[in-house]
Copies of this chain bind each other. A is one copy, B any other.
């Protein structure tokens, strides 16, 4: 790869990163191409040369985001040094470094009116996401953390729900993230009724 291509790739990455950060902070609609260009240190037109328009830029940003997240989760699921409980803890609290800073709020807005993205997400879910989570849930059932009668779909929905919830945490509750996280982890496994044979972890 020569100097041209390397610089081109770096600029493309810059633009995508800038776009992702702004999109996730302010929403797709309120971010202007100009702002992205400014943050990525390029001219507006360069963005058009590389991506062809705002819609396609959004598409590529979402794609990049989704597949980068997929890789992280893949590594986690296949990690033999953790048990199911630890993996779930990481997943739902999303401690994987840079992902913490990126909210997916904007996806919901975007999916509504971009059929391409709808298809991208749908295809991603079917081909990549579901098999991965099935493997994880199998681990959970093997290790006895998951009741064997729950349907796969429900469990997936449940996990996703926790994950989604953790994205919009910080400012609402008065507890430290630490406390909230521990209590919710317990609820995740034993529900609102709690584990009758145990007191809560943070009350030990």
Contacts and interface: CB of A to CB of B under 8 A. Distances in A.
Nearest to A166: B161
Interface stretch (A7-15, A62-70, A93-101, A169-177): A169-177
Q: Kindly state the interface size class of chain A when it binds its partner.
A: 35 or more
18 contacts: A29-B29, A108-B168, A109-B109, A150-B183, A153-B173, A153-B175, A153-B180, A154-B175, A154-B183, A154-B184, A156-B173, A157-B169, A158-B192, A187-B191, A188-B191, A189-B191, A189-B193, A190-B193
Interface stretch (A39-47, A74-82, A140-148): A140-148
A174 B29 CA distance: 31
Interface in A21-80: 26-27, 29-30
Contact of A149 (B26, B109, B199): B199
Nearest to A26: B112
Contacts of A151: 175, 179, 183
A77 to B, nearest CB: 16
B194 A147 contact: yes
B161 A165 contact: yes
A73 B168 CA distance: 23
A200 to B, nearest CB: 4
A155 interface: yes
A153 B165 contact: no
A162 interface: yes
A164 interface: yes
Contact of A194 (B150, B153, B161, B173): B150
